[in-house]
Amino acid sequence: MNAPTELRMPPATPDLAAIKLRQQATWASGDYAVIGTTLQIVGENLAEAADVRAGERVLDVAAGNGNATLAAARRFAEVTSTDYVGPLLDKAADRARAEGLSVRFQVADVEALPFADGHFDAALSTFGAMFAPDHERTASELLRVVRPGGRIGIAAWTPEGFIGRLFRVISAHVPPPAGLRSPVKWGDEPYLVELFGAHAEDIQCARRTFNFRYRSPAHWIEIFRNYYGPTHKAFAALDEAGQARLEADLTALLESMNVGGADSLVVPGEYVEAVITRQ
């Protein structure tokens, strides 16, 4: 008699629409602008890498509090700034008004952009597009709205870097939805080639570092627990004992990566800066 065949369950198919609603609630929680403004240098560097020029039509997707938006507007581009969380765009609009910059703000989902094919000379995203649950659709929309020969500039945290490790710590305490691909896959160069390569004339990737600078691990945890959506929601999902365990694991991660010495916290955060030129 033959041995019974092992039963294999099909892989879980994530409910992307439900996940997106959860993501919107996550990024609307806390106050991402408190964190986001510290990352402005990434937007400036990305605008330079993508060669944003005066008069060009530039789209910032999943713009958050508008780092790439402001960087492009400072270069006298005609900027449209989008995000699917309206209050984040309100913060970006406040920043633009304070600098006297002319920017169009519009609530929009990167997976369903309300713009004509080839409308923009360039599209940018700093740590935003990577969080959309449908990676292929996101890449397809970015390619669609950029003209032939136009550029797509992406900044994405790497799997090996600090934020990739942070997400693994969080996932050990609050598991993500089954079947959902990690956002930090966008920080892997071969994966970007997989997403964009069939429609790209050229893809240039460089590894960069953003230094998270805080007073101490406890200070970092205080700020990210209160203001950064993913950590804010993770702590909220746990009971008191679970919160203590998460805090201990975050403290260990921060201490292991701190290059700032005993009296400060400086944690290098590796990311990929990619510029895709559309065919």
For every residue of the chain, DSSP letters joined together read: -PPPPPP-PPPP---HHHHHHHHHHHHHSS-HHHHHGGGHHHHHHHHHHTT--TT-EEEESS-TTTHHHHHHHHTT-EEEEEES-HHHHHHHHHHHHHHT--EEEEE-BTTB--S-TT-EEEEEEESSGGG-S-HHHHHHHHHHHEEEEEEEEEEEE-SSSHHHHHHHHHHHHSPPPTTPPPGGGGGSHHHHHHHHGGGEEEEEEEEEEEEEEES-HHHHHHHHHHH-HHHHHHHHTS-HHHHHHHHHHHHHHHHHH--S-TT-EEEEEEEEEEEEEE-
Residue 127 and residue 99 in contact, taking contact as beta carbons nearer than 8 Å: no
Look up residue 62 and give its two tokens: 């999943």
Alpha-carbon gap, residue 158 to 164, rounded angstroms: 6
Alpha-carbon gap, residue 44 to 73, rounded angstroms: 10
pLDDT of residue 114: 98
The one-letter code for the residue type at 185 is K
Alpha-carbon gap, residue 39 to 16, rounded angstroms: 28
Entry pTM: 0.92
pLDDT of residue 12: 56
pLDDT of residue 3: 41
CATH of domain 16-158+177-211+270-278: 3.40.50.150
Alpha-carbon gap, residue 30 to 233, rounded angstroms: 9
Domain positions in the chain:
16-158+177-211+270-278
pLDDT of residue 147: 98
Provide the residue-wise pLDDT of the chain in tens; the chain has 279 residues.
444 444 444 455 678 788 777 887 888 787 899 999 999 999 999 999 999 999 999 999 999 999 999 999 999 999 999 999 999 999 999 999 999 999 999 999 999 999 999 999 999 999 999 999 999 999 999 999 999 999 999 999 999 999 999 999 999 999 998 888 999 999 999 999 999 999 999 999 999 999 999 999 999 999 999 999 999 999 999 999 999 999 999 999 999 999 999 999 999 999 999 999 999
Question: Using only C-alpha atoms, what is the Rg of the chain?
Answer: 19
Residue 220 and residue 265 in contact, taking contact as beta carbons nearer than 8 Å: yes
